[in-house]
Amino acid sequence: MAREKSRSCSVSDIELIRRAAALIREGKLVAFPTETVYGLGANALDARAVERIFRVKGRPCTSPIIVHVESREAAPAFVTTWPSEAEKLAREFWPGPLTLVLPKRACIPDIVTAGLPSVGLRVPANAFALSLLDYAGVPIAAPSANRFTELSPTTAEHVRKSLGGSVDLILDGGPTQVGIESTVLSLAGAKPTLLRPGMISAEQIEAVIGRIEIVGALNEGAHPSPGMHPKHYSPRTPLVLQIPSTGRGAYLWRTKSANAAHSIQMPADPAPYAAALYDTLHRLDDEGFDWIAVEMPPDEPAWTGIRDRLSRAGS
């Protein structure tokens, strides 16, 4: 699989990253870019630091946090088992937007995993994120750097607008490349199970390890993956999946235009569409429209992650 490219780190970037790494080790919060969205990071081994993530975001304790590690080789140190499926998927997709859920070791605090015995791990495909992990020397727990259920940030400015001074430092690595959150696959149960779709599709995963299950109804209590709340990824402006007959709104479309106060043609292919989606919604959210309507993309495997985000945003 082709790896996503991120902006390389300059000498001045490295100095800032070293400062950010020191803050992580001190138990502080750092917002940083990944290839998917910007994350709000803390030392994953420090329960008090992770608890601050929940407070800053207004995140419920039932929603676990993904742990970012520096390499495929580093991941087994934080789980009790590393099955062959994990090794195959890590070799194929890491660094990249795939999170693997596995039984956790005791070194991962329960607050990270919503009290569940499993933890989600991934290696981000972003030069800033990988450098931060390298200099910090610890795994970094990091959900998206925004208030809970709101639009995820794909630029440093989005983080500033959402969290303001609640973060100790924001690393600006430019816009993210993938644009929506990672695919989450659980290998903690009897069968590999897709918990959250993303830009790595179920079909791509099955090509590596064979048939997988897809999670059904939302679980009560602690969720096995982030992003499973019915309402999520939402702009402040009501987002609807058909054009209302009244009010002043904006319309996102791929294949046909419509009469709306503001009409935006989105990319016809899934990868550039995903990369542009949150930034487009952030910009429209600042315009004071009565609604944002979206022409739903096709019900095809490559679009599943995007359709999931739009459906939850419009709930």
Q: Edge-to-edge, what's the strand order for the sheet holding 30-33?
A: 169-170, 30-33, 38-43, 140-141, 67-68, 118-122, 98-103, 183-186, 193-196, 213-214
Are 287 and 262 within 8 A, CB to CB?
Answer: yes
What backbone torsions phi and psi does residue 47 show, to the nearest 5 degrees? -60, -40
State the CB neighbour count (10 A cutoff) for residue 134. 12
Q: If you average pLDDT over residues 128-147, what whole number do you get?
A: 97
Alpha helix segments (H runs only) across the chain:
11-25, 47-57, 84-93, 127-136, 156-163, 202-209, 270-285, 304-313
What is the pLDDT, as a whole number, of residue 230?
72
Q: Is the pLDDT of residue 99 over 50?
A: yes
Q: Please, which pLDDT band fits residue 1 given cuts at 50, 70 and 90?
A: very low
Is the torsion defined by CA of 37, 40, 42, 47 positive or negative? negative
For the chain, percent of residues with pLDDT exceeding 90: 81
pLDDT at 246: 84
Residue-wise pLDDT tens digits, 231-290: 778 999 999 988 887 888 999 988 766 655 688 999 999 999 999 999 999 999 999 999
Q: For residue 63, what pLDDT band results from cuts at 50, 70 and 90?
A: very high
Task: Say how far apart CA 298 and CA 38 lie, in whole Å.
Answer: 27
Where are the domains positioned within the chain?
11-214, 239-313
**Contacts of 197 by beta carbon, 8 Å cutoff, 6+ apart:** 183, 304, 305, 308
Whole-prediction pTM: 0.94
Digit-coded pLDDT (tens) for 215-231: 865 556 778 887 777 77
12-28 pLDDT, tens per residue?
899 999 999 999 999 99
Q: What is the pLDDT of residues 49-60, one digit of tens each?
A: 999 999 999 999
Topology, domain 11-214:
DHBP synthase (3.90.870)
